[in-house]
Amino acid sequence: MDELLAAATVVCLPMRVRFRGITTREVLLLRGPAGWGEFGPFPEYDDREAVSWLRSAIECAWQGPPPSQRSQVPVNATVPAVDAARVPEILARFPGARTAKVKVAEQGQSLADDLARVAAVREHVEHVRVDANGGWSVAEAATALTALTADGELQYAEQPCASVPELVELRRRLTGRGVRIAADESIRRAEDPMRVVRAGAADVAVVKVAPLGGMRALLRLSEELAAHGVPVVVSSALDTVVGIGAGLAAAAALPDLEFACGLGTGSLFEADVAAPRPLRDGVLAATLVDPDPERLAQLQAPGERTDWWLARLTRCHGLLGGH
């Protein structure tokens, strides 16, 4: 534990646009013998859930990445639940991306807002996927996805409903309509990530390094998913350049990579702990980047937030052995 505390720095990154209800992203970074790791479970997650994120940070900093199969990873643009008028400005931050993921079903917004945002995105990119973060009931999802596919295909709809039984029912209702369902929260926040697949509720799986407990855990799960015919989309958990490096390393280690990965979210930050990897032609180089000491100092979290994260690190460390 002393080694972990000595290795820790807490940073607070300002965001350009509100995303999943937040405008600043706090994470704790760890420096270990193999490099840097990121511990950034969202503040509302309890320690039991956060412990996988710690396991992942320790893997990165003490073990390093698995062997890679490719040096570049295609990424999608991520479009927060902004007004349709802001879409060009957001997409301009993802040069060359041919796929965009659009947030929908945001609280306080209407289906008309989603339709306008998706229509604006379609003008710029080839493939569009949507992410509802479980915000629709089955009936709402059926209506919304029918409307959203009236003028063009969706690559898939990510977590349209919150629960596995709802996803099963929605998939049954949408039979023959050509709308694939992707599971995100049903994988990363589930006790058993394969449950949603065994239930026949997902065509695609969104997989994230930190909530799954690391790069190697992600690779093991992806192998199991592939055996069930379910392809994966490696995505970020709104990570700094450090966490994105782990996502890129995992994506680069996969034998097959069918879809663009949700690892372009660095573009949503106003500042990061190192110069962001350049996004060219919709592709990121699968490299690991060390934080820049000057930026670390500039982005350092206030004292009381640092104390909060160190206490969380200590509690989660105490839970590590139990799994």
Ligand X SMILES: O=C(O)CCC(=O)C1=CC=C[C@@H](O)[C@@H]1C(=O)O
Where do contacts with Mg ion occur on this chain (CB under 5 A)?
131, 158, 184
Asked if residue 158 belongs to a known ligand binding site, the reply is yes
186 scored as a contact of ligand X (CB under 6 A):
no
CB of 40 to ligand X, least distance (A): 10
79 scored as a contact of ligand X (CB under 6 A):
no
- Do you know the residue count of the chain? 323
Task: Give Cα 37 distance to the centre of its chain.
Answer: 16
Q: Which is nearer to ligand X, 133 or 155 (CB)?
A: 133
Point out the catalytic residue in the list 103, 171, 277, 295: 103
Q: Which is nearer to Mg ion, 65 or 247 (CB)?
A: 247
Report the residue number whose CB is nearest to Mg ion: 184
SS3 206: strand
Q: Which is nearer to ligand X, 63 or 163 (CB)?
A: 163
Instruction: Render 9-69 in DSSP notation, one character per residue.
Output: EEEEEEEEEEETTEEEEEEEEEEETTEEEEE---TTS-HHHHHHHHHHHHHHHHT-PPPPS
Q: For residue 127, what is the enclosing H or E element? A: strand 127-131
Query: Which residue, among 205, 236, 194, has the nearest Cα to 78 in the 3D structure?
Result: 236
106 scored as a contact of ligand X (CB under 6 A):
no
Pairwise CA distance, residues 132 & 141, whole Å: 9
Q: Which of the listed partners (Mg ion, ligand X, none) does 180 bind, with a CB threshold of 5 to 8 Å by partner kind?
A: none
Q: Which is nearer to ligand X, 7 or 205 (CB)?
A: 205
Asked if residue 239 belongs to a known ligand binding site, the reply is no
Strands 8-19 and 99-103, by their bridges, are unpaired
Asked if residue 203 belongs to a known ligand binding site, the reply is no
CB of 294 to ligand X, least distance (A): 27
How many Cβ atoms from other residues are within 10 Å of residue 17's Cβ?
Answer: 15
Q: Which is nearer to ligand X, 7 or 263 (CB)?
A: 263
Q: Residue 101 catalytic?
A: no
246's CB contacts (< 8 A; 6+ apart) are 37, 38, 56, 60, 65, 209, 210, 214, 215, 239
Q: Which of the listed partners (ligand X, Mg ion, none) does 169 bind, with a CB threshold of 5 to 8 Å by partner kind?
A: none
Question: What residues between 215 and 254 interact with ligand X by CB under 6 A?
Answer: 235-238
CB of 111 to ligand X, least distance (A): 19
CB of 291 to ligand X, least distance (A): 20
Pairwise CA distance, residues 67 & 230, whole Å: 23
CB of 161 to ligand X, least distance (A): 14
Q: Which of the listed partners (ligand X, Mg ion, none) does 272 bind, with a CB threshold of 5 to 8 Å by partner kind?
A: none
In the set 9, 52, 78, 240, which binds ligand X (CB under 6 A)? Answer: 78
Point out the catalytic residue in the list 25, 101, 117, 208: 208
3-state SS record for 172-204: HHCCCCCCCEEECHHHHCCCCCCHHHHCCCCCE
Residues annotated as catalytic (active site), given as ranges? 103, 208
**Residue ranges binding ligand X (CB under 6 A):** 20, 76, 78, 101, 131, 133, 184, 235-238, 262, 265
